[in-house]
Amino acid sequence: MTVACYVRVSTRRQNDDGQRAELQKWLDGNGIDPRQVEWYADKESGTTLKRPEFDRLQSDIFHGKVKVVVLWKLDRLSRRLKDGVTTLADWSEKNIRVVVVTQQLDFSGAIGRLVATVLLGLAEIENEFRKERQAAGIEQAKKKGKYKGRANGTLKGNPARVVELRDKGLTAPEISTALGVSLRTVWRYMGQGKNEPVKA
């Protein structure tokens, strides 16, 4: 086995079918023999590296069983810049090739580590900027007396669309960004509320 396909969703209620389909398309397009492929699938938050299938992948890499890691998106690896960069740096030192199919990335070695660092950093910065812009917009609206919040019982966005995106494997933050609604709204539409927060 030389090619590792890693997929991840954040909750047990999500499925990774969409990710698997994209990775399989890449495998077929590159003529990869199925006997050379091992699949690793986690249903855990991307904010931690403590995941059973990720641990298995790391073990196989350590023992020299894996030469290529294929991902759907770079954030399937990690949603924390430090963890992502550390992992990719470790892989590059082991000459592991990393392919990210939806972002059309294919890299290894020092250059790959540099590219990955920039991409992970930009993703984290954009997430922070989005939060800052939202907070600034609300603050300005409050100063002008135009912000009253949303009345209890009213709906913003489309609950059915939230569930549809969740079932396709998107995380709560991704759904929030895609639909332009708050994370709290996404959680409420998923029927989980504060007692069972949707992980990033």
Question: Which residues are within 8 A (CB) of 60 and not within 5 positions of it... i.e. 6 or more apart?
Answer: 1, 4, 38, 66
Whether the model clears a pTM of 0.85, i.e. scores above it, the answer is no
Q: Are 3-119 and 150-192 in the same CATH fold?
A: no
CATH code given to domain 3-119? 3.40.50.1390
Half-sphere exposure of 109 (CA within 13 A, CB side): 1
Q: Which CATH architecture has domain 150-192?
A: Orthogonal Bundle (1.10)
Give me the tens of pLDDT residue by residue for the chain, a chain 200 residues long. 799 999 999 888 888 999 999 999 999 999 999 999 999 999 988 888 899 999 999 999 999 999 999 999 888 988 777 788 788 878 888 889 999 998 888 887 666 667 766 766 666 666 666 667 776 776 776 777 765 555 444 445 578 878 877 887 777 877 777 777 788 888 888 775 433 444 44
Question: Which residues are within 8 A (CB) of 74 and not within 5 positions of it... i.e. 6 or more apart?
Answer: 84, 100, 103, 105, 116, 119, 120, 123
Bridge partners (DSSP) listed for residue 54: none
Q: Where are the domains of the chain?
A: 3-119, 150-192
